């Protein structure tokens, strides 16, 4: 037989096309796409199903300690399983450096957490919290291992100064790595939070006004300027304001090497969700915070226009108990409650139902947002992110008509912030390198069957950058800046 497995009768969807074809798989890769494949050992019948590239979850926190030292409820087993049930074939959680820890040691720590447990292929974004000279010197080694993206913070205790940020960007830019940034102005947030708490406004709901959209706008503008001066590409994580998205769109329209994402919580939830009695609002504390309905509508426009390239979950699972949200105690103000909410399994069903199902985005835009753009931005093309001959057989088979009311998920959480939302369209079968991970709603893959994905540098072809005159020897009296 020419094929180990054939997917027959489905409607194929990529980021550019929708058409009827069969897919033939051998040794974990797609080897044939044709009208009819009859020579396969094993067949999956995909009649009345949509067959698309497996989702790539590019922003999630798995087996990671938060800045406050709280461990996420999900490890690589529950996290990858929940992601698979949500239509993903691979994911890129964070590997967070601790103060004083070398990057090599950071990677080893996370390899030990991921390799025995993950059912999905995985990579990491490194989180840089202690950018000493020695650590910056280690960065190229990490990039060479295939971890070609990493994140820094402009807020929290682990924030970097503008000067540190410039040094980091410069090293990254020289080695083809992508710097991701959590962009909020730390002092603006701190000033607002102190005023709220001093005035006795301590309930979880005050988390929302404590982080003004203006703080995000200011920091995104600054981050884009810093990246421009350092001549380095930049990715803005979890954009929650249209003003922020506009800055990204404007920069890119001028050649800027800037990309961004938003998250389901900013498209499907609002400030009203955090306005709950007692401590229940804690379930909706995430940063940046939930905003209002007009913000939500404007973010959808940026998703439609392509100024936001990804919709990522920012799955940050802290349970509604003393192990998570209330690890600093129950009788606390909003500043002491763990930040983040789960969503790794809901991301794609929500985006499909509210996006494709309600005519906001095309099926092809959905595939781009779910998978293809992440593969391009994070250096996984052509292995991941599309259905093409030679690509890994990372495939999600969706039933576009199945309606469910969101309830319990396969993660290790004790609540689902999207519970009760009616969603039409679910992934029923998910393959990773031709292996069945989930089939007809049942887990098939064994923990540890995922593999590390060695990623390439971001391809900047077609994104010339926005030149800064003072860096040009013809305009800076020949100064040597290298
Ligand atoms: Zn995050």
pLDDT, average across residues 63-83: 94
- Positive/negative CA dihedral, 422, 89, 34, 25: negative
Q: How far is the CA of 298 from the centre of ligand 1 (A)?
A: 22
Q: How far is the CA of 372 from the centre of ligand 1 (A)?
A: 20
Q: How far is the CA of 92 from the centre of ligand 1 (A)?
A: 11
pLDDT at 82 over 90: yes
**Using CA atoms, how far apart are residues 437 and 447, in angstroms rounded to an integer?**
10
Q: How far is the CA of 405 from the centre of ligand 1 (A)?
A: 26
**Using CA atoms, how far apart are residues 341 and 347, in angstroms rounded to an integer?**
12
pLDDT at 208 over 80: yes
The per-residue pLDDT for range 397-431, each reduced to its tens digit, is 999 999 999 999 999 999 999 999 999 999 999 99
The per-residue pLDDT for range 340-385, each reduced to its tens digit, is 999 999 999 999 999 999 999 999 999 999 999 999 999 999 999 9
The per-residue pLDDT for range 282-324, each reduced to its tens digit, is 999 999 999 999 999 999 999 999 999 999 999 999 999 999 9
Q: How far is the CA of 318 from the centre of ligand 1 (A)?
A: 12
Give the position of tokens 């040597």. 480
Q: How far is the CA of 58 from the centre of ligand 1 (A)?
A: 10
| Burial (CB count within 10 angstroms: exposed 0-12, middle 13-18, buried 19+), residue 229 | middle
> Which domains are seen in the chain, by residue range?
54-370 (3.20.20.140)
Confidence band for 241, pLDDT divided at 50, 70 and 90: very high
Q: How far is the CA of 278 from the centre of ligand 1 (A)?
A: 26
Q: How far is the CA of 45 from the centre of ligand 1 (A)?
A: 37
Q: How far apart are the first and last CA of the chain?
A: 58
Q: How far is the CA of 216 from the centre of ligand 1 (A)?
A: 15
Q: What are phi and psi of 300, to 5 degrees?
A: -60, -40
Q: How far is the CA of 452 from the centre of ligand 1 (A)?
A: 21
pLDDT at 230: 97
| Burial (CB count within 10 angstroms: exposed 0-12, middle 13-18, buried 19+), residue 281 | buried
pLDDT, averaged across the chain: 97
Rounded-to-10 torsion of CA 297, 300, 302, 305: -120
Which residue from 115, 25, 120 is spatially nearest to 315, judged by alpha carbons? 120
Q: How far is the CA of 61 from the centre of ligand 1 (A)?
A: 6
pLDDT at 68 over 90: no
Q: How far is the CA of 289 from the centre of ligand 1 (A)?
A: 12
pLDDT at 426: 97
The per-residue pLDDT for range 459-471, each reduced to its tens digit, is 999 999 999 999 9
Q: How far is the CA of 60 from the centre of ligand 1 (A)?
A: 6
């Amino acid at each position: 037989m020419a094929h180990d497995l054939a997917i027959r009768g489905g409607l194929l969807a990529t980021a550019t096309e929708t058409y009827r074809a069969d897919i033939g798989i051998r040794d974990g890769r797609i080897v044939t796409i044709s009208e009819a494949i009859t020579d396969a050992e094993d067949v999956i019948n995909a009649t009345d199903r949509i067959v698309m590239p497996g989702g790539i979850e590019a922003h999630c926190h798995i087996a990671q300690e938060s800045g406050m030292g709280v461990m996420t409820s999900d490890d690589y087993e529950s996290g990858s399983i929940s992601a698979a049930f949500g239509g993903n074939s691979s994911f890129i959680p964070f590997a967070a450096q601790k103060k004083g820890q070398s990057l090599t040691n950071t990677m080893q720590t996370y390899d030990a957490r991921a390799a025995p447990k993950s059912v999905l292929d995985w990579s990491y974004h490194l989180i840089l919290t202690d950018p000493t000279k020695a650590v910056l010197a280690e960065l190229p080694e990490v990039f060479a291992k295939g971890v070609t993206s990493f994140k820094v913070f402009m807020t929290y205790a682990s924030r970097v100064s503008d000067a540190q940020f410039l040094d980091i960007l410069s090293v990254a830019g020289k080695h083809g790595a992508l710097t991701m940034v959590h962009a909020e102005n730390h002092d603006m947030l701190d000033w607002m939070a102190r005023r709220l708490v001093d005035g006795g406004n301590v309930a979880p709901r005050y988390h929302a006004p404590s982080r003004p959209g203006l703080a995000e706008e200011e920091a995104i503008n600054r981050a884009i300027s810093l990246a421009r001066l350092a001549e380095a590409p930049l990715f803005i994580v979890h954009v929650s304001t249209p003003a922020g998205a506009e800055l990204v769109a404007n920069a890119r329209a001028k050649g800027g090497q800037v990309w961004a994402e938003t998250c389901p919580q900013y498209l499907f939830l609002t400030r009203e969700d955090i306005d709950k009695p007692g401590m229940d609002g804690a379930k909706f504390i995430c940063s940046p915070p939930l905003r209002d309905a007009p913000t939500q509508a404007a973010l959808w426009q940026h998703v439609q226009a392509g100024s936001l390239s990804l919709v990522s979950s920012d799955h940050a699972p802290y349970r509604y108990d003393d192990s998570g949200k209330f690890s600093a105690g129950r009788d606390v103000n909003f500043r002491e409650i763990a930040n983040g909410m789960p969503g790794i399994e809901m991301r794609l069903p929500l985006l499909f139902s509210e996006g494709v199902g309600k005519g906001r985005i095309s099926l092809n835009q959905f595939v781009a947002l779910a998978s293809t753009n992440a593969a391009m931005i994070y250096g996984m093309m052509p292995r991941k992110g599309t259905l093409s001959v030679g690509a890994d057989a990372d495939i999600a088979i969706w039933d576009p008509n199945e309606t469910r009311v969101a309830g319990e998920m396969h993660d290790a959480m004790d609540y689902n912030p999207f519970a009760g939302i009616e969603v039409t369209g679910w992934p029923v079968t998910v393959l990773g390198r031709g292996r069945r991970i989930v089939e007809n709603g049942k887990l098939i893959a064994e923990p540890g069957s995922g593999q590390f994905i060695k990623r390439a540098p971001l391809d900047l072809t077609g994104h010339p950058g926005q030149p800064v005159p003072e860096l040009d020897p013809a305009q800076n009296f020949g100064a040597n800046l290298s």
